[in-house]
Amino acid sequence: MALLDEQIDDAGTARLTLNRPERHNAFNADLIAALTEAFTRLSDVAEVRAIVLAGAGKSFSAGADLDWMRAAAGWSEAENVADAMRLSDMLSAINVCAKPVIVVAHGHITGGGVGLVACGDMAVAVAGAQFRLSEVRLGLTPATISPFVLARIGARARRWFLTAEAFDADQAQAMGLVDEVAEDADAAEAVVAHWLAHIADAAPGAVADAKRLALDFARAEITCELREETARRIAARRVSPEGREGINAFLNKGKPGWIAQ
């Protein structure tokens, strides 16, 4: 049985489903490798317009597999650094993927599972979802996921890092970890469909560049160099084939080629 189920539909939506339901989709070395490979590969597939990441079974992801962590306790510090970097590489592959990444979170989302959510561009939580950054209860810290969680929710992470208390979907939305809360799985799918419809109307290259803007300039000081860089980026977009096609279609009340005719 594949640890990560992958399906791509005719609209260019790639659906990746964590497939260890008996372990609440806790990830081990094999699942980490599968996620890294999938997001790295799909980032460069022109036909893919967006990626939806979800989990099979009762929970989205319970974070790190306990057997995997138990084994890691017996490794050397150097071996643990290498292992943690593989997890970091996986999170980075999701975070910088050129395609919009939509996360559907349900059930228990613990530790590294929260890191997965934080790496998405958009996230919807199903009502009843329970989140927890539980590492300190195990004598650990959320070190590897912290850059991604902090980028998503900022200093509000301090409370949850230190207390390891649970928080619900509404609290996750209030802090910015998720964008929407849906009453059930069908309602969550409706939210996903809404986002996908809007993504389908946008130019794929422009979407990738817009995501890069958000990654590169979030919380950056507004310097002359930054303003010059943003000017260069919009100039490149204006003279790009997509930019020219999009403006021409708008002025002539037509549809650009990236929209299904």
Could you tell me the pTM of the whole model? 0.96
Cα dihedral: 191, 146, 207, 5 (round 10): -60
Kindly give the confidence (pLDDT) of every residue in the chain, 261 residues in length, as a single tens digit, with 9 standing for 90 and above: 789 999 999 999 999 999 999 999 999 999 999 999 999 999 999 999 999 999 999 999 999 888 887 887 888 889 889 999 999 999 999 999 999 999 999 999 999 999 999 999 999 999 999 999 999 999 999 999 999 999 999 999 999 999 999 999 999 999 999 999 999 999 999 999 999 999 999 999 999 999 999 999 998 999 999 999 999 999 999 999 999 999 999 999 999 999 986
